[in-house]
Amino acid sequence: MNRISWNQYYMAQSHLLALRSTCTRLEVGATIVRDKRIIAGGYNGSIAGGVHCIDEGCYVIDNHCVRTIHAEMNALLQCAKFGAPTDGAEIYVTHFPCLQCCKAIIQAGIKCVYYAMDYKNHPYALELFEQAGVKVEHVPLQEEILDRNIQEKFQFVTNLLERISKTDDSCDIEELYGAAEKLFIGKK
């Protein structure tokens, strides 16, 4: 069995954290790592004990939800709260950090930002990262690593589709095969 790479391991952790998000506009997770150890994690949500977007909707001002603390900030604040140094650490984020989070990441001394998905990548954020000597790398999550049985599931579905095609010629079997391939393999 092949082991998961460090980048995929930490990125998977960030995606799991994103599942805790309470903002309905975007689910984001962030994992801070130092010396191959996870020192903090965060997701976008409201202040502790506060009203959540999932309960009362987003509080949007100038096209931003002001109720939400971003995942990166929550992870950085967790480090501050518990005294975990961030200087020289790395951060794994499900989405490219916004400009404000970019500045906080730089000020925290984080030296490497790994992100899975592009999201309004601000050119000034990229400029600031470069100016500060922060490495930025796109690391898409390889979702199939989270499900060790994905090939068996795909084979099961294609076998079912094959049986259906032999008994029912009224459905568009090629369309169903395409949908199964997209679902299990990610092809478009």
Residues belonging to the active site: 72
Report the SS3 class of residue 66: coil
DSSP code of residue 146: G
- Taking a C-beta distance cutoff of 8 angstroms, is the pair 23, 58 a contact? yes
- Residue 63 CB partners (closer than 8 Å, separation 6+): none
Rounded Cα distance between 102 and 119, Å, is: 13
54-to-27, 45, 94, 124, 149 alpha-carbon distances in Å: 11, 9, 20, 31, 32
Beta bridge partners of 135: 112
Among 134, 141, 21, 106, which residue's Cα sits nearest to residue 70? 21
